[in-house]
Amino acid sequence: MATIFLPARGDTFVYQFLPYRNYARSRHLSTGRDRNGSLGYTLINFDLQSVLPVNASITSAQLLLTLYDVQQPNLQATYKVCRITSRWHWRNVTWCTLPFFDPNPLLVFPSPDIGLLSLDLTTLAQKWLSGEHAELGVLISPAESARGAYFKAYSSNATKSDRWPQLMVEYTLPEAIITPPSFVDNHSELIVPANDTRQLTQDVSLTRIMTVLITNSGPGTVTAHLEISADGNNFVSSSAPRVIQPSETDRLVADIFARYLRVVITNTTGAQALVDVYFQGQIA
C-alpha cells in the first residue's frame, strides 16, 4: 500500500457578511457563524486523477486541516462536509457566486479542537477517481451552530507548508503491474548575490507530480516562487512567494500543470545566499 499527501488544488472561504469579497489570498479558512450571525463556508478542491494511476484502488482518503482558532460557545455545535456539484474557482468565488452542492452531507462532525483535524473522504475520493463524481471539491459549513461558533484553519497561503490543507490518500495497485517508479531528481547549487535574482527551469512534461525543495544555507534570506510555461519562453506565476531563512528548507508545488516549471529565487538582503534547489518528481 502506498501513501501520498496531496496539496489542495484550490482552497478559500466565503463570508456572508461581505458577500462580494473573494478570500483567495487569505492565510486562513473560516467556517462557522460569527458573533453577528453571518456564516462562513470553506471550499477545498483536489486533483486526484492527475496524480494516482488509473488502476489504483483507494483504501483511505483523509482531509487534513490544521486548526489554530476554535470558538465553541455552544458545545452542541456541529459541522458538515458536502460534495460540491458545480464548477468554481478559488481565485474568484464569493458568497454571491457560491457553487451548488449536495445538501446531503458526506459526514457531520462535532466542534473540533485546536490542532490537526482529520475528515474521512474515502468514499468520495473513490468516486472521484472512478469518474462517478466530477472532482469539484468539498464545502465545509455549520450543521448546527450558535452565534460565535466557528473555527479557523490554515490555508495554502500559510507561511509554513506543513500547515496547508492536504488529502492523505492510501492506495494499492494490482500486484501484477506494480513496477519500481522512475524519478526526476535534479539538484543545483546556486549562489544568489545580494539584491539579485536567479532562475532555474525544468521540463516536467513526463512527470505526474513535481516538487521543488529549496535549502538556504545563508547567510542571506531569500524568497522563492514557481512559474509555469507551455513553451519555455512565456512564464506565469504558479505559487505564492515563500520566505526562506538561513538554515531552513521549504517546498514549492505549482497549483496547475504545464510543460515547463521555473523556480525564481530572489535575495533582497545585503549578504549573498548559498541555495540548494532540488527538482523531484515521479515520471508518468
Contacts of 106 (CB under 8 A, 6+ apart): 80, 81, 82, 83, 121, 123, 124, 138
Instruction: Judge contact between 281 and 204, C-beta under 8 A.
Output: yes
183-283 has the same fold as 2-175: yes
Q: Which residue has the cell 515563500?
A: 242
Helix then strand count (H, E) for the chain reads 1, 20
**The pairing of beta strand 115-120 with beta strand 260-267:** unpaired
Share of the chain above pLDDT 70, in %: 98
Instruction: Judge contact between 197 and 189, C-beta under 8 A.
Output: no
Where are the domains positioned within the chain? 2-175, 183-283
Q: In angstroms, how far is the first alpha carbon of the chain from the final one?
A: 18
For 133-169, how does the pLDDT look when each residue is reduced to its tens digit (9 = 90+)?
Answer: 999 999 999 998 778 999 999 999 999 999 999 999 9
Q: What is the pTM of this model?
A: 0.61
Contacts of 268 (CB under 8 A, 6+ apart): 195, 221, 223
Cite the beta strand spans of 129-179 per DSSP E.
138-144, 149-154, 166-172
Find the range with the poorest average confidence among 114-118, 177-181, 216-220. 177-181
Q: Give CA–CA dist 58/65, Å, rounded.
A: 20
Phi, psi torsion values for 177, nearest 5 degrees: -115, 10
Say yes or no to pLDDT of 282 above 90: no
| C-alpha cell at position 82 | 458536502
pLDDT the model gives residue 255: 86
CATH superfamily, with its number, for domain 183-283:
Mitogen Ypm (2.60.120.510)
Q: Give CA–CA dist 113/9, Å, rounded.
A: 25
| C-alpha cell at position 258 | 504545464
For 163-172, how does the pLDDT look when each residue is reduced to its tens digit (9 = 90+)?
Answer: 999 999 999 9
pLDDT the model gives residue 208: 74
CATH architecture of 2-175: Sandwich (2.60)
For 192-232, how does the pLDDT look when each residue is reduced to its tens digit (9 = 90+)?
Answer: 999 999 999 989 888 877 889 999 999 999 999 999 999 98
Q: Give CA–CA dist 19/279, Å, rounded.
A: 40
* Among the listed residues 52, 117, 105, 51, the one whose alpha carbon sits nearest the alpha carbon of residue 81: 105
pLDDT the model gives residue 96: 97
Q: How many CB atoms lie within 10 A of CB 266?
A: 17
pLDDT the model gives residue 186: 87
For 9-49, how does the pLDDT look when each residue is reduced to its tens digit (9 = 90+)?
Answer: 999 999 999 999 999 999 999 999 999 999 999 999 999 98
Instruction: Judge contact between 145 and 78, C-beta under 8 A.
Output: yes
pLDDT the model gives residue 169: 96
Instruction: Judge contact between 64 and 138, C-beta under 8 A.
Output: no
Of the two residues 186 and 115, the one the predictor is more confident about is 115
